[in-house]
């Protein structure tokens, strides 16, 4: 697979529709600018849907790609290596932050096993079982996966995007479940932005102390040496320093843009995959929103490179799509306001004629004054 082929398949949201949405916004009863960024969100969604007025977001879904990362064995995460299955179970048992919010908002959650390293019997029955491989290699000293596995993972993400689009999902809240996943994500961002490891190394979702931060920084530094020789090939880059869950997320983002399905990104993992996808198809970020800033320096750098402005800044770093899900009501509110606010009534013909006559008289008077001033001078 050549990810560059997506460049010819992805178009931007309809510019003509967006112009119509902006024109409609100017006719609404609430003054332009009074709703702040909600106006922009409503117009963006209208262009993505190719509909004026915008349709309500009624069938959103949370999609989480899960995987374990071999680099976690170095002690770069606040969680033990190989325990992502515990996070998966917490989500599907309704005991994690994203599960609580999704239940409150009545949004279904779908968890995809792309690269967990556990006995499948440990996973709840609801997991989508599409595992490409068990965990990844340690990216500081070896490839995360083979090129064939990277290809299979991207195709997995594409297939999940098609399934969501075909089922009528009108917006996806995209997240990840992983232990050690912020290390490969930060490596990808540093490689694609041309920065050093120290610039992108954060504390991760679980939080780490200074010693663990130094180990993480060293792992990213070593992984960068392996990433730079393959920067020109996105698939090879994902194979070298990514992982099945990151490659699947990248494929999902690209195919979602092909299918014109809007996506809200969550944290640094989604931002890293978005950056890889942007390198393959430069129009693809036009289909995404950034739900929030997490405080991870790598995420901020990636969003800046993609020119995607986050909706919220609450410092939610727990992952799992939690911060992105918090932004969903904002998007739904923007759609509702754009669709349901009444337009200003058109002026009565007599009133319009009187206003036009008054404007003409005013202009004439102004011209006469100018003439008098000209004679005087």
How many Å apart are CA 102 and CA 61, to the nearest integer?
9
How many Å apart are CA 92 and CA 130, to the nearest integer?
17
Based on the residue annotation, tell me whether 320 is a catalytic residue of this protein: yes
* Kind plus residue range of the DSSP H or E element containing 43: helix 37-49
How many Å apart are CA 140 and CA 222, to the nearest integer?
5
273 token code pair: 């995959």
Cβ neighbours of residue 238 closer than 8 Å, sequence gap 6 or more: 144, 150, 153, 154, 188, 246, 247, 250, 276
155, 320, 353, 364: which one is catalytic? Answer: 320
CB 180 within 8 A of CB 72: yes
* Kind plus residue range of the DSSP H or E element containing 86: helix 84-92
In degrees and rounded to multiples of 5, residue 281 shows phi and psi of -145, 105
Closest CA to 267 of 297, 240, 241: 297
Closest CA to 139 of 103, 176, 191, 206: 191
Q: DSSP letter at 267? A: S
Residue 28 has, within 13 A of its CA and on its CB side, a CA count of 21
- List the catalytic residues: 320
């Amino acid at each position: 697979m050549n990810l560059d082929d997506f460049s010819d398949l992805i178009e931007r949201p309809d510019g003509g529709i967006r112009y119509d949405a902006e024109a409609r916004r100017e006719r609404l009863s609430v003054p332009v600018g009074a709703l702040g960024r909600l106006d922009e969100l409503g117009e963006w969604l209208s262009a993505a849907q190719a509909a004026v007025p915008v349709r309500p977001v009624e069938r959103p879904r949370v999609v989480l790609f899960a995987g374990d990362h071999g680099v976690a064995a170095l002690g770069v995460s606040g969680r033990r290596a190989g325990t992502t299955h515990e996070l998966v179970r917490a989500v599907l048992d309704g005991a994690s932050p994203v599960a609580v919010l999704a239940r409150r908002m009545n949004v279904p959650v779908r968890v995809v096993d792309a690269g967990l390293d556990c006995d499948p019997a440990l996973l709840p029955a609801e997991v989508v079982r599409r595992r490409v491989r068990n965990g990844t290699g340690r990216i500081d000293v070896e490839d995360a996966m083979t090129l064939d596995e990277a290809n299979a993972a991207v195709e997995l993400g594409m297939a999940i995007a098609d399934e969501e689009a075909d089922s009528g999902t009108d917006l996806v809240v995209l997240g990840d479940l992983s232990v050690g996943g912020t290390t490969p994500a930060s490596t990808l961002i540093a490689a694609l932005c041309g920065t050093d490891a120290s610039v992108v190394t954060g504390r991760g979702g679980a939080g780490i102390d200074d010693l663990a931060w130094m180990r993480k920084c060293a792992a990213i530094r070593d992984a960068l040496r392996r990433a730079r020789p393959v920067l020109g090939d996105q698939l090879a880059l994902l194979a070298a320093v990514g992982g099945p869950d990151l490659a699947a997320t990248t494929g999902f983002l690209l195919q979602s843009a092909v299918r014109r399905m809007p996506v809200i990104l969550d944290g640094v993992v989604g931002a890293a995959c978005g950056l890889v996808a942007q390198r393959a198809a430069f129009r693809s970020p036009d289909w995404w929103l950034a739900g929030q800033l997490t405080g991870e320096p790598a995420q901020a750098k990636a969003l800046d490179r993609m020119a995607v402005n986050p909706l919220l800044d609450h410092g939610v770093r727990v992952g799992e799509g939690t911060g992105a899900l918090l932004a969903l009501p904002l998007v739904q509110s923007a759609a509702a306001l754009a669709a349901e606010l009444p337009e200003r009534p058109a002026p009565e013909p007599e009133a319009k004629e009187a206003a036009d006559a008054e404007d003409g008289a005013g202009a004439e008077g102004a011209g006469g004054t100018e003439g008098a001033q000209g004679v005087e001078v």
